[in-house]
Chain A
Amino acid sequence: MRIDPSWVQDMFQLIRRLQSVLCWLTAIVLIAVSGAAVARRPHYLRFGVLPLQSPTMLAGMFLPLTDALQHALHRPVQFVTAPNFAAFMRRVQRREYDIIYLNPLLYTRARRWGYHVIVKVAGEPFAGILVVRRNSPIHALGPHVLPPGLRVGFPDPNAYAATIMTRQYMETLGIHVNRDLKVKYFGSQDSALMAVYYGMVGMAGTWLPSLRSMPPRVQRELRVIAQTPPQPQMPIAVLDDMPAHETDRIRKMLTHLTATAGGRMVLRHLGFSRGFVVAHNSEYDGVKP
């Protein structure tokens, strides 16, 4: 039997075309599969928490909350904080967080970058406190009560309750902080409290939740000598591009934490026994530095 050479050539050409088609198909399938794999990756909601305390302590407080949010939203929520207030606010400015928890003063700045409050901490007034060691001779505040050159510790210049409110309060009492006292910033509420505990400073500005989160032995050695007038409570705000239904779901979940045992457990970790209540931007209009 004779085979026509042109027929053989045609067959080879056909095979080559089939090969190239197969290669293209394989490449398309691979790209599609990898794209699908990328698409399947969950998008995390980032919950930024103002570094009021050490990151580990904040994580211990807020991770149960983010966990509860995950279950409620059916999507992962990442707890994250920042090395300091300034870094935190820079990220807020860059809209790196979907949800933020911060002080009322910093919230007034965050509003400018697209965040709006949905809930605030319920019940307890938002006030700064001044703490001394239990055995300290200081029992009250006054122009000539504090020993001259007393060392006072604060967490951060931008800590609203702990720094700004307490400083304003002392100024109203006739104490010129910058002139009469020696101010030292320790970066976080914990550090400022530990500085008092170890005697590195004679007094520290902070707020009640931070004091309550300290170990009992530390709490026992500290004493509150003054509390500032209350201000609107610490808000939780979300980005304005968050879908409304998701915002509503978050609000609902946060305001109903007190209704369930699991929610109460979350609140116990946070130190906010009364949970959250709905808040509006107008409540923070009067907050000024």
Chain B
Amino acid sequence: MSVIELDRGQTVAAEQRSPRLSFFRTLRFRLVLSVALVHAVLMGAFVWSAVNKQSEAIRAELHNRAHSLITLMAVASTNALLAEDLGSLAEVTERVKQQPDVTEGAIVDVRGDVLASTDPHQVGHRLPAPPDGVAVPRRNRLRLHEQIRVAGQRVGTVFLEMSTRHLKSELAATRNEGLLFILLALVVGSVAAWVLSVLITRNLYTLMAAVRKIGGGNLGVRVDLQARDEVGLLGGAFNAMAESLQRISDQVRSEHEKRTDAERLACVGELSASIAHEIRNPLSAVINSVKLLDRSNLPVSDRAQAIAILNTESLRLQRILNDFLDFARIRESRLLEDDVCALIEEVASLIRQNPQAVAVRVEVECDVCPCRARHDPDHLRQVVWNLMLNAVQAMPEGGNLHVRVERAGRIVRISIADNGCGIPDHLLDKIVRPFVTGRKHGTGLGLSIAQRILMQHGTSLSIVSHVNVGTEISFDLEAV
């Protein structure tokens, strides 16, 4: 029985995530408990019954002995009683006294006068005549009496008292022996149950360990159970399941790779088409302007216009290429714990100095200041800059730009809202893609860059926009 690991990846993590089972809730403990209990109950009943029978036998033996003795005593003393032969009667009681457990014996005539007794002080005294054949219960004593009858008439009574101390000590010894047997049975039963439970559950524990490893992502785990019982069948089913899971997982991974490759190719094609589309117009303008400038008879005013177009379009081409390079060269974020309010105030100041924002009223509102969050300051500065610049450009006639920083538990939410022209609905879903823009001279890379940076922070943009009403873009950072 063993666990065969084909891949050890993430097994430990999976085991750590598994809930720890209390010993008292384990199958092993319950099995031990139930077997031990059944064992104890059965043995208890058996021993109790045996002890009872033995006790009854001991009691019966004492009673029989007492009855035999008193009968013998009555027979032996009849003649002497009739003859009031006190010497012979004393001899009878003396002999009776020598019997084990006898504490008292007395021979009484028909009047109730004690003619002989093991206690000499009783002789000559009178005793009441009790009913015949009744054993009178007394503490640690068994007291019997039997009438002596001749020709159907009572001529006297014989009393016999026997100590039950020996009987009780024997009963106590029997009971203690019984208790010892029960205890022994309990111990032996528990040990046997423990061994049995270990044999039964060890394969289950192996299976449990394998399941945990599979839960941790290690689909290569297999169990090797030698058992030929239900657990063995379960192990086989488990191996078949793991085999199937691994096969399906491989298929999924292969298809995912294929789909990713296809998406990547499509993205490259789309990006290439976008780049080509973006640079085709200014490049055409540049080529046409160069052709015009090549004419010798070109009027001066047209030449100047061609040169102006050439400058404008080449600058546009340069900007497109720079933005694309920025998009392509975004480095990995280095997250620090720092105040975001100060950073946003700093960006807001730069925006206010931007000529495009002359007619825009920029407001920054921080709920908590300083408001510390995990972020890369350079990247966050670029994100906020891009978003605020987009907002300003969406309000060419002026408007309000409202930046709000608020903390809600473990999250810092930054939202940038404007009352500009808004984003058309058909662009809203794909506005964060490269080269998708709603503005005539926009490159369509600002939001893409912001989205890529925020994805490295483990978050993304959330955009709510209504045409001619305004746009609010927000994102969350992890508060510290």
Residues of A whose CB lies within 8 Å of any CB of B are 41, 44, 51, 54-56, 58-60, 63-64, 67, 76, 78-83, 87, 91, 269
Contact = CB atoms under 8 A, between A and B. Distances in A.
Main secondary structure of the interface of B (DSSP, over half): mixed
B151 A78 contact: no
Contacts of B110: 44, 76, 78
With a 10 A CB-CB cut-off, give which of A51, A54, A59, A63 has the most chain B CB atoms.
A59
Contacts of A82: 83-85
B77 to A, nearest CB: 11
B146 interface: no
Nearest to A38: B126
Interface string B65-105: 00000000000001111111101100000000000000000
Contacts of A80: 82-84, 109
Contact of B126 (A41, A78, A269): A41
A63 B153 contact: yes
Contacts of B152: 63
By Cβ-Cβ distance, the 3 closest A-B pairs, closest first, are A55-B82, A59-B150, A55-B79
Contact of A58 (B82, B88, B112): B82
Given A44-B111, A54-B79, A56-B79, A64 B84 contact: no
Of B81, B83, B155, the most chain A CB neighbours within 10 A belong to B83
B467 to A, nearest CB: 102
A78 B109 contact: yes
Interface string B100-133: 0000000001111000000000000010000000
Contacts of B78: 55-56
B109 A59 contact: no
8 contacts: A55-B82, A59-B150, A63-B151, A80-B83, A80-B109, A81-B83, A82-B85, A87-B83
A81 B80 CA distance: 9
B422 to A, nearest CB: 100
Contacts of B79: 54-56
B82 A60 contact: no
B479 to A, nearest CB: 81
A239 B146 CA distance: 33
A59 B111 contact: no
A63 B150 contact: yes
B111 A56 contact: no
A44 B108 CA distance: 14
A164 B338 CA distance: 149
Interface of B: 78-85, 87-88, 109-112, 126, 150-153, 155
Contacts of A91: 84
Nearest to A83: B85
B38 to A, nearest CB: 62
A64 to B, nearest CB: 7
Contacts of A67: 153
A55 B83 contact: yes
Max chain A Cβ within 10 angstroms of own Cβ: one of B81, B88, B110: B110
A76 B154 CA distance: 12
Contacts of B111: 44, 76, 78
Contacts of A55: 78-83
Contacts of B80: 55, 83
Among A55, A91, A269, max chain B CB count under 10 A is at A55
A67 B151 CA distance: 11
Nearest to A61: B151
A10 to B, nearest CB: 47
Given A56-B82, A78-B111, A81-B83, 19 more contacts: A44-B111, A55-B78, A55-B81, A58-B82, A59-B82, A59-B150, A60-B150, A60-B151, A63-B152, A63-B155, A64-B151, A67-B153, A79-B82, A79-B155, A80-B82, A81-B82, A82-B85, A83-B87, A91-B84
A82 B83 CA distance: 4
> Which of the listed residues B78, B82, B110, B153 has the most CB atoms from chain A within 10 Å of its own CB?
B82
Contacts of A83: 80, 83-85, 87-88
A44 B152 CA distance: 19
Nearest to B110: A78
A44 B155 CA distance: 12
Contacts of B126: 41
Contacts of B83: 51, 55, 80-83, 87
A79 B84 CA distance: 10
Given A54-B79, A78-B109, A78-B111, A59 B155 contact: yes
B200 to A, nearest CB: 77
A41 B127 CA distance: 11
Given A76-B110, A82-B83, A83-B83, A56 B88 contact: no
B130 to A, nearest CB: 15
Q: In this complex, which of B81, B88, B153 has the most chain A Cβ atoms within 10 angstroms of its Cβ?
A: B153
Nearest to A70: B153
A253 B336 CA distance: 138
Contacts of A44: 110-111
A148 B151 CA distance: 43
Nearest to B150: A59
A83 B90 CA distance: 14
B116 to A, nearest CB: 14
Nearest to A66: B153
A91 B83 CA distance: 11
A9 B153 CA distance: 66
A44 B87 CA distance: 23
